[in-house]
Amino acid sequence: MSPGDIGSEALGTEDLVLEGLGIVIAPFGKRLASDIGLLAEAARQEGYNHILRIAEEWSAGTNRFERRGESLLGAHDRGRMIGVGGMTVEPTRADWLRMRRFYVSQPYRGKGIGRRLAERLLEHARAFTPVVTVHAGSDDARRFWQAMGFQPLTGESYTHSLRLA
């Protein structure tokens, strides 16, 4: 993966290195990183299939995170992908964005990697939208997104939203 290859100019081409961890967070290139399959398999073993969908949708050309405001970030430890997070246009509101496809490998959880992926995408989103949504599919995800400031909702295709000020 070569940082900055993707059409996420607002994210810049510089990697973000988490202090003290040596974890690099950077946009995906025009090609999906080859180790997305390993990350998808780790996620699948935990019962999560949403990372496999990244590779499937990318290969099919149905989602490459390249529309206005969209981005896909990878977190790497010594060149090995250990996490991913993306943002796409909200399907129900073209002027909003949705966080999606978040996953951090089990051994790396609780170290701030997911939080930093989300913060970096939210920084990016401020230039494109007043609201970001997310569909939290588990209790852990609900707690994570609420700790990030997202407010729970009912009756929508998303479970939480965050108004960007």
Domains identified in the chain and CATH numbers: 9-163 (3.40.630.30)
The predicted-structure confidence for 99-153, as pLDDT tens digits, reads as follows 999 999 999 999 999 999 999 999 999 999 999 999 998 999 999 999 999 999 9
Query: How far is it, in rounded angstroms, from Cα 40 to Cα 73?
Result: 15
Tens digit of pLDDT for each residue in 76-86? Answer: 998 899 999 99
How far CA 107 is from CA of 9, 23, 49, 77, in Å, comes to: 31, 13, 18, 12
In contact, 97 and 70? CB cutoff 8 Å: yes
Q: 121, 98 in Cβ contact below 8 A?
A: no
